[in-house]
Each structure stands twice: as structure tokens, then as C-alpha cells.
């Protein structure tokens, strides 16, 4: 069976980490006789430089006719001063999400035992953390009407936060379904003491919970959730929240695990899902073979699991990552004394080598 994968490396470390994930998929393809067909396209600043726009028509078209999308990261200082409609992060990422109908972002934050000491939190607080953060992706402040007005003494800027019952139901249902397959606990995060959108959110979640009596539901204000994530993260199983709260909390959850360089993500909802590391293009380390490719390699594992239903192959990648970490290999972001520092390509090769050994 052929699986068509659109590959969008993007900018900065995107062009270094994506090849490592593609190589891993190549190894699995050969071993298991899966025909992974890769087609690369431009996105982000790289696309602006070549075509003048951050999300060329051909790129979106390629994604739409593929079975899944593997994205690196977009953006960087070179394009930071462009007008909003040309900025890689806004136009390319939001354009892909909208164009592919991706309304849910799944970010697992799992602490690998070998990295317990890489976390900035105490061992007994983070040991065993395994949280799935589900973020709404196509509504809220990021997509509501924006405007600027000239007023006396300067300007007034307005962003609008909008949610409909339908948008809330589809993401929260995914939260309940995901919790049902895991630890059966769902924490819905909002700011219902202040925001009208949050009050609608909470009413809708409460109503929907009647269909899921087997899932224990809690509601939490976002400020408390931020605090609880560092106080006692093990209380969480699945968290579901709106777009901006999810953006912030999922980055915060990522640091429980030691580095954002470890965290994969899946954006789902439409026919074609998109997989990408949770981090950005890291211009500070780009082009130096320093980036941790594990988040991207684990994103490829999520692709095998969620888009292609290849659970065994996904697990093999995850196990290979654990083995390499257990053997003490580390990229700079997760480096500790007594461990072996490796670069991006070495880390990719080590995981690929482990994979081959495990299959053999
Ligand atoms: P970032 O995630 O790129 O980097 C934050 C810090 O984490 C940096 O110190 C970086 O070196 C480090 N880091 C990130 N990924 C790493 C990895 N794989 N290995 C080792 N270290 C890693 O966030 P930022 O600095 O706020 O943003 C940089 C650029 O990326 C900006 O242009 C931003 O808009 C863009 N961005 C893109 C995405 C995306 O494409 N999805 C997401 C976030 C930020």
C-alpha cells in the first residue's frame, strides 16, 4: 500500500530535523515493505523567498491530495517585519490549519524516565507525567476579527474572541473520546469567571458530559491550570481547552518533560492530518547541527498511528527513542553531565540504527 506524505521542512531547524524523520520512515518502509511516497514543498519564509507568499497554492494543493503532512517549523527574524498577511507563522500555519480543516491539536507530554533529571522540576513532581493536551485550533482570538483604529494619542487594537456551540462540541467530544481510551479523566480549562466564550464553553462541556458518564470531568480556570501544571502535573490525564489557552498551556506542559525538542504533535480534524514538532524554527541554533530531532521523529510515529493505523511501526519508533536515551545519548537541549552529546544527524542515525536492530 502506498502512503503519500507531503513534506514541508520550512525554515530554521526545520530543514535539519525533517530529513531525520524522513530517514526513519524510509527505514521502516523498507523493513515492512510500506511504500512511503514523499513529496516536498515550500512553506514559511523559504516560500516567501521563492514565491513571495508563505503558503503557495501548490503547497496547499499538495497537502490536500496527500495522505498526511509532515511539517518542520516556520518563521525567523528575516521575515519578522513583514506585514501580518505575509508573516510565516500567521499566514502559513493558520492557512494550513484552515485549508485542511484541522480543528484539534494533540500534544502528548510524556516524561521519559531517562530524562527525569533534565526537567527543571523535582523528580517526585514530574516522574511518570503523561498528559495529553488537546487544543482547539481554528477558533477563538486567533481567528476572530482584528482591527486597528486611530484614536487621540495613538491607536486602538482589537482582537475578537468567538466560539460557537458546534466548535466547542467537536473539540470537547474528542477530549472525552481520548480520555475514554486513556485514564478516563478529562480536565476542561476555561476562564468562565470572566469570559462569555468560556461560559458557553463550560455549559457545553457540562451538557456533553452526560454522554460520557464513565469519564470523570473537572473544570479548571486557566490561571489555576497554569499553576497546577507545575505544582502537581500528575493530577492531569487529558486536558481540553480553547485556542490561546491551549497554545500557552501546551508549551508549559512541554517543559515538564525536559525540552520542547522532545514533544511531537498532531493536528487533526479534516481528511488529511498534519504532524509537526511542538517547537518553532529555533533560529538561535539553526544550521549548527544542534537541534533535537526527536520531537519530529515522534511526530512521524504519531502519523503512523493516527493517519495510517500502523500501531506496531509507531511503537517501534517510540521504543527506539527510549533505547537511545537509555544509552545516554543527548542533544544539547537535554544534555546532562555524564551523558554523550550528539548532534542532529547523529541522533537521527542512532535512532535509525536502534530501529533496525529491534526489528531484526
Ligand atoms: P522556538 O520553539 O523556535 O525556540 C525556543 C527555544 O527552544 C530556543 O532556545 C530554541 O533553541 C529551543 N529549541 C526549540 N526547538 C528545539 C529543538 N528541536 N532542539 C533544541 N532546542 C530547541 O520558539 P521561538 O524562539 O519563540 O520562535 C522562533 C521562531 O519560530 C519564530 O519565528 C516563531 O514565530 C517561530 N515559531 C514557529 C512555530 C511553528 O512553525 N509551528 C512554532 C513556534 C514558533
pLDDT in tens, 216-241: 999 999 999 999 999 999 999 999 99
Rounded to the nearest angstrom, the distance between the alpha carbon of 282 and the centre of ligand 1 is 4
Query: 273-277 and 68-73 as β-strands: parallel, antiparallel, unpaired?
Result: parallel
pLDDT-derived band at 359 (thresholds 50, 70, 90) equals confident
Q: Is 251 a catalytic residue?
A: yes
Provide the 10 A C-beta neighbour count for residue 328.
12
Tell which one of 15, 280, 329, 332 to mutate to probe ligand 1, the residue whose CB is within 8 A of the most ligand atoms. 280
Task: Please answer whether residues 10 and 89 qualify as being in contact, where contact means their C-beta atoms are separated by less than 8 angstroms.
Answer: no
Look up cell 498511528; give the residue: 305
Which of 5-19, 88-102, 191-205, 282-296 is predicted with the least confidence, judged by mean pLDDT?
88-102
Beta-bridged to residue 216, according to DSSP, are: 185
Provide the 10 A C-beta neighbour count for residue 256.
22
Catalytic residue (choose from 80, 223, 284, 326): 223
What is the mean predicted confidence (pLDDT) over 254-277?
Answer: 91
What is the mean predicted confidence (pLDDT) over 301-322?
Answer: 95
Catalytic residue (choose from 11, 23, 191, 290): 191
Give the per-residue pLDDT at 290: 98
Determine the Cα–Cα distance for residues 231 and 120; give it in Å rounded to an integer: 12
Radius of gyration (C-alpha) of the chain in whole angstroms: 20
| Residue 300 scores a pLDDT above 90 | yes
What is the mean predicted confidence (pLDDT) over 264-289?
Answer: 95
Q: Residue 78: helix, strand or coil by DSSP?
A: helix
Determine the Cα–Cα distance for residues 189 and 220; give it in Å rounded to an integer: 5
Task: Spell out the alpha helix ranges (H) of 209-340.
Answer: 222-231, 243-256, 294-306, 311-326
Catalytic residue (choose from 142, 163, 275, 329): 142
| Residue 112 scores a pLDDT above 70 | yes
| Residue 360 scores a pLDDT above 70 | no
The CA-to-CA distance between both ends of the chain, in Å, stands at 22
Determine the Cα–Cα distance for residues 153 and 338; give it in Å rounded to an integer: 58
In ligand 1, the atom with minimum distance to the C-alpha of 292 is 19
Q: Is 223 a catalytic residue?
A: yes
Q: Is 284 a catalytic residue?
A: no
Q: Which residue has the higher pLDDT, 86 or 192?
A: 192
Rounded to the nearest angstrom, the distance between the alpha carbon of 333 and the centre of ligand 1 is 12
Q: Is 142 a catalytic residue?
A: yes
Buried b (16+ CB within 10 A) or exposed e, 7-41: bbbbbbbbbbbbbbbbbbbebbbeeeebebebeeb
**pTM score:** 0.90
**Protein residue with its CA nearest to atom 20 in ligand 1:** 291
88-99 residue pLDDT tens: 988 899 899 989
In whole numbers, what is the pLDDT of the chain averaged over residues? Answer: 95
Task: Please answer whether residues 268 and 252 qualify as being in contact, where contact means their C-beta atoms are separated by less than 8 angstroms.
Answer: no
Of residues 309, 279, 251, 246, the one with CA closest to residue 68: 309
Determine the Cα–Cα distance for residues 292 and 72; give it in Å rounded to an integer: 12
- Cβ < 6 A, ligand 1 pocket: 13, 73-76, 89, 93, 260-261, 276, 279-285, 291-292, 295, 333
In ligand 1, the atom with minimum distance to the C-alpha of 79 is 32
Structural domains of the chain in order of their starting residue, each with its CATH number: 1-106+260-360 (3.40.718.10), 120-257 (3.40.718.10)
Provide the 10 A C-beta neighbour count for residue 159.
13
| Residue 269 scores a pLDDT above 70 | yes
Task: Write the Ramachandran bin of 121: left for phi over 0, alpha for psi from -120 to 50, otherwise beta.
Answer: beta
Catalytic residue (choose from 130, 251, 306, 315): 251
- Cβ neighbours for 76, distance < 8 A, ≥ 6 positions apart: 11, 12, 45, 88, 281, 283, 286
Helix/strand number for the chain, H first, E second: 12, 14
Rounded to the nearest angstrom, the distance between the alpha carbon of 165 and the centre of ligand 1 is 33
Tell which one of 276, 281, 335 to mutate to probe ligand 1, the residue whose CB is within 8 A of the most ligand atoms. 281
**Protein residue with its CA nearest to atom 42 in ligand 1:** 280
As to burial, measured by CB atoms within 10 angstroms (0-12 exposed, 13-18 middle, 19+ buried), residue 200 is middle
Provide the 10 A C-beta neighbour count for residue 333.
18
Considering only the C-alpha atoms of the chain, give the largest distance between any 2 of them, rounded to a whole number of Å. Answer: 72
**H or E segment at 165?**
helix 165-181
Amino acid at each position: 500500500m502506498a502512503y503519500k506524505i507531503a513534506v514541508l521542512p520550512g525554515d530554521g531547524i526545520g530543514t535539519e530535523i525533517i530529513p531525520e524523520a524522513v530517514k526513519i520512515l524510509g527505514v521502516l518502509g523498507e523493513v515492512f515493505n510500506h511504500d512511503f511516497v514523499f513529496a516536498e514543498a515550500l512553506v514559511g519564509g523559504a516560500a516567501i523567498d521563492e514565491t513571495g507568499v508563505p503558503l503557495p497554492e501548490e503547497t496547499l494543493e499538495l497537502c490536500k491530495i496527500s495522505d498526511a503532512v509532515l511539517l518542520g517549523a516556520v518563521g525567523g527574524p528575516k521575515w519578522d517585519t513583514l506585514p501580518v498577511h505575509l508573516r510565516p507563522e500567521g499566514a502559513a500555519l493558520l492557512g494550513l490549519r484552515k485549508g485542511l480543516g484541522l480543528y484539534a491539536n494533540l500534544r502528548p507530554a510524556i516524561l521519559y524516565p531517562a530524562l527525569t533529571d533534565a526537567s527543571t522540576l523535582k523528580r517526585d513532581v514530574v516522574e511518570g507525567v503523561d498528559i495529553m493536551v488537546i487544543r482547539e485550533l481554528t477558533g477563538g482570538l486567533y481567528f476572530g476579527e482584528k482591527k486597528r483604529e486611530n484614536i487621540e494619542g495613538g491607536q486602538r487594537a482589537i482582537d475578537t474572541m468567538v466560539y460557537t456551540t458546534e466548535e466547542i462540541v467537536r473539540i470537547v467530544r474528542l477530549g472525552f473520546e481520548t480520555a475514554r481510551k486513556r485514564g478516563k479523566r478529562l480536565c476542561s480549562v476555561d476562564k468562565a469567571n470572566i469570559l462569555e466564550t468560556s461560559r458557553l464553553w463550560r455549559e457545553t462541556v457540562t451538557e456533553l458530559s452526560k454522554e460520557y458518564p464513565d469519564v470523570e470531568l473537572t473544570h479548571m480556570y486557566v490561571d489555576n491550570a497554569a499553576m497546577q501544571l507545575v505544582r502537581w502535573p500528575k493530577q492531569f490525564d487529558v486536558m481540553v481547552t480553547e485556542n490561546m489557552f491551549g497554545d500557552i498551556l501546551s508549551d508549559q506542559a512541554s517543559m515538564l518533560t525536559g525540552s520542547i525538542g522532545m514533544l511531537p504533535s498532531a493536528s487533526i480534524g479534516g481528511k488529511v492530518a498534519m504532524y509537526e514538532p511542538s517547537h518553532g524554527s529555533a533560529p538561535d541554533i539553526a544550521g549548527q547541527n544542534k537541534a533535537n530531532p526527536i520531537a519530529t521523529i515522534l511526530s512521524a510515529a504519531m502519523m503512523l498511528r493516527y493517519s495510517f493505523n500502523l500501531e506496531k511501526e509507531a511503537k517501534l519508533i517510540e521504543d527506539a527513542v527510549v533505547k537511545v536515551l537509555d544509552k545516554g545519548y543527548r542533544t544539547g537541549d537535554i544534555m546532562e553531565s555524564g551523558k554523550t552529546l550528539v548532534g542532529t544527524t547523529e541522533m537521527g542515525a542512532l535512532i535509525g540504527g536502534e530501529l533496525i536492530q529491534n526489528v531484526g
